[in-house]
Chains A and B, each alone.
Chain A
Amino acid sequence: MMVRRAIEGLDERLDGSSFVARNLKKVFPDHWSFMLGELALYSFVLLILTGTFLAFFYVASPELTVYQGPYEPLQGRSVSLAYDSVLRLSFEVRAGLVMRQTHHWSALVFMASIVAHMIRVFFTGAFRKPRELSWLIGVGLVVAGIMAGFTGYSLPDDLLSGVGLRIAYSIAQSIPFVGSWLANMFFGGEFPGTALLPRLFTLHIFVIPLVILGMISVHLGVVWHQTHTQFKAPGRTNETVTGTPVWPKFAVKSVGLAFVTFAILTLLGGLFQINPVWFYGPYVPYSGPSPSQPDWYAGWLEGLLRLWPNWEFTVFGVTIGELFLPAIVVPGILFTLLATWPFLEARFSKDREWHNFAQHPREAPLRTALGASAIALMVVLFLAGSNDVLAKYLQIEVDTFNSVLKVSAFLLPVIAGMITFVVCRDLRDRPRGPVDRPGTMTVRRTEDGGFEEVHEPATHDEAAAPR
């Protein structure tokens, strides 16, 4: 009765009943890989919730104070108010540490699920027309996510993050003509400056989340409007969508997934230590922790810096240092390629049709091969981002390990691409076996004592079956 009244009320004011009815009946196709995007969404929800709690305690100030909290190894040390507030949040605020660690874990899982989601969309061709806009927003979310992560883990003003900021300053400085200006403007003066923490804080808790929220909203709106892709199956067509109705089954499942995500993230936050800033110590410009590596999603950028040859050259009096190419130009090219991929593929394949079917990776061997190459390169770069730690673990010299990685950065993508291409092409061209075609076979005894096989072909629509 109350629902009826609410719907009537909406209808009289917003003409809402047809809207409600239409959207609650919307159907969403089921596949485990379609949950990756939801995982990112729910990680983001938890980031906002835990982040709000953290923001109530964090002090964005580089001013120095003497640490007098309960963590004995640092008592009497001169630390910034920012670092002091993070230690207080971790050791003195009840439930503070579980919130802080859950926030960090959520950020790692947020990025992981975005990347996994993107890989899924890439290999199934779900970015094709009419879904290019969703893809572009996805690339935007990766970039914004990296920025959110970097500004976030720089806030505690600990030794590890301070070194990361010094590298960021150097990267900005390496840009021709405007570099010194850009670096000075952002840091409010020569490194380390005094203006940085409040700026990072504003970016981290206001500007970047707002951008991410905006992009997520548009992304969801577009997905809702365009309806989801689905895999080929009997009875499915390009013009229809088959799946679970939103209300109540899909909604209950999705909310269930949200709570399971929250549960796992809080478990990680409670039991698995992450970013223990009290071990790193407060930031001082003249000390650096060894080993030092960024969060996982920046690992490939770090790896690029570590593997890049020590090229420095001067063109018309302009010095191009060792950082400009690997830290600005190469990532710029990679992200441009990633963002424009749907358009490049449409142009080269001359395919401008509407695609509501997600493909099997073997259906597009070249794309799948290129994707495998890209992943192979990323894995090599990621490993290079921890070359010192891995070399120690493998008990070889960093120099040797680096040489191996440099060769691998060229070789592995080629090998991975070629193998993937051949395997996909053969799978695609292979006559469909019994697994693809679930028919029946009967062995029958004939009148004269022999045996014969009777094959019943598959009964479903051949055209709609996966190729």
Chain B
Amino acid sequence: MTRPDRVVAAAFVVSIVSAFGLFLVYLRGGQTQIEGALLFLTLGGIGAGLLVWAKKLMPHIVEETRSRHHGPVPEADKETATETVMGGVEELQRRTFLSRLLVGAAGALGLAALFPLRSLGEAPGDSPFFTKWKTGSKLVDVNGDAVTSDMLTVDSFTTVFPEGAVGSADSQAVLIRVQSDLLQLAADRAAGAPEGLVCYSKVCTHAGCPLSLYLAEDHELRCPCHQSTFDVLDGARPVYGPASRPLPQLLIEIDDDGTLRAMGDFTEPIGPSFWNISEERSSSEAIARSDERSSSEAIALSEEPS
């Protein structure tokens, strides 16, 4: 046995032994790291053995040179090919009326084949413009428990949802308490931020990630995805990063018993921009929505334990 022979033999033996090892490890319930190492030896033994075999034990097989067998195509061949294709096309085209009908039928079939695409999802309608917050919705936390004004100390924050929609992707909001004299909100917005409790959509206006980072000393909300940063004191204006629109605010008020309620939906559509985001939420829709709101409000109120 020459030296390469022995190397190849050793590699194959390692592979065989490791395969038995794998069997044992598997029988005893498996262990990821040992499985990985033994798979490496089992497969690598075969691979290394073959590579050494090819490189060292086939010295008599040397490089060969062959013609590539391709070059300019003879003119005659091109002619024949073109004529064959065109002959068929002309044969079909001779029946002008029939061939046109065929094209029409194919087109109609193509259109008909598109119909099922419509089944894939609901029409967006006005859903991008609205969330599940309604006038009077109670703010609840992630466990569905009502949030009261005394629950948050200054510079702490929590995620809130409208009652009955815990975990909702579009309605999630972040409630933060700041020192109320620091807030620089316009008068109509300030009215919805009582006692320094200010509430914004938790969906980043850049790419829609949840704003899970609050930098308390700077009063900034930051997105973990692309680092868009919003100034909580100044109406969640974007101060850094790729987002351009402020976070929509949720105007809230405090009930007599201290529970927090929304004064309506967010001030703007939530989340990233879409092509018609700048359209006003049309008045008829708004009316329809508010009807819906008042009826659901009535239900909500009646369900409320006294």
Interface residues of A (CB under 8 A from B): 25-27, 30, 94-95, 97-98, 101-102, 130, 163, 166-167, 169-171, 173-177, 179-181, 183-193, 195, 226-227, 235-236, 239-245, 248-250, 252-253, 255-264, 266-271, 284-292, 302, 305-312, 314, 317-323, 354, 356, 387-388, 398-399, 402
B67 interface residue, CB < 8 Å from A?
yes
Q: Interface residue count for B (Cβ, 8 Å)?
A: 82
B103 interface residue, CB < 8 Å from A?
no
Closest A residue by C-beta to B174: A286
Given A260-B51, A323-B272, are A306 and B169 also a contact pair (CB < 8 Å)? no
Residue from B32, B120, B161, B277 within 8 A of A98 (CB atoms): B32
Task: State in angstroms the CA–CA spacing of A166 and B226 once bound together.
Answer: 13
| Contact between chains at A259 and B32 (CB < 8 Å) | no
Interface residues of B (CB under 8 A from A): 26, 29-30, 32-37, 39-44, 46-51, 53-55, 58, 61, 63-71, 117, 120-124, 127-128, 142, 159, 161, 167-170, 172, 202, 206-213, 223-228, 238, 240-245, 271-279
Task: State in angstroms the CA–CA spacing of A383 and B33 once bound together.
Answer: 31
| Contact between chains at A240 and B44 (CB < 8 Å) | no
Residue from B70, B124, B206 within 8 A of A322 (CB atoms): B206
In the complex, what's the smallest C-beta–C-beta distance from A20 to chain B, in angstroms? 16
| Contact between chains at A174 and B51 (CB < 8 Å) | no
Q: Which residues of A contact B49 (CB under 8 A)?
A: 256
Residue from A176, A266, A354 within 8 A of B43 (CB atoms): A266
**Which 8 A/B pairs are nearest by Cβ-Cβ distance?**
A270-B36, A321-B273, A259-B47, A256-B50, A263-B44, A290-B224, A260-B47, A285-B169
| Contact between chains at B224 and A186 (CB < 8 Å) | no
Task: State in angstroms the CA–CA spacing of A376 and B207 once bound together.
Answer: 26
Closest A residue by C-beta to B213: A290
Residue from A173, A226, A248, A291 within 8 A of B58 (CB atoms): A248
Q: Which residues of B contact A192 (CB under 8 A)?
A: 169
| Contact between chains at A318 and B272 (CB < 8 Å) | no
| Contact between chains at A259 and B276 (CB < 8 Å) | no
A-B contact pairs, 12 of them (CB 8 A): A26-B66, A27-B65, A98-B32, A98-B35, A170-B208, A181-B124, A242-B64, A256-B49, A288-B210, A290-B213, A306-B227, A310-B238
Task: State in angstroms the CA–CA spacing of A227 and B70 once bound together.
Answer: 10
| Contact between chains at A288 and B212 (CB < 8 Å) | yes
Residue from B46, B64, B167, B274 within 8 A of A259 (CB atoms): B46
In the complex, what's the smallest C-beta–C-beta distance from A261 to chain B, in angstroms? 8
Residue from B39, B65, B161, B169 within 8 A of A270 (CB atoms): B39
| Contact between chains at B275 and A175 (CB < 8 Å) | yes
| Contact between chains at B63 and A95 (CB < 8 Å) | no
Q: Which residues of B contact A174 (CB under 8 A)?
A: 272-275
| Contact between chains at B121 and A188 (CB < 8 Å) | yes
Q: Which residues of B contact A261 (CB under 8 A)?
A: 47
Given A286-B202, A398-B227, are A185 and B274 also a contact pair (CB < 8 Å)? no
**Apart from A252-B53, A286-B142, A310-B242, 8 more pairs, CB < 8 Å:** A171-B207, A185-B117, A262-B47, A263-B41, A266-B43, A319-B275, A322-B206, A322-B272
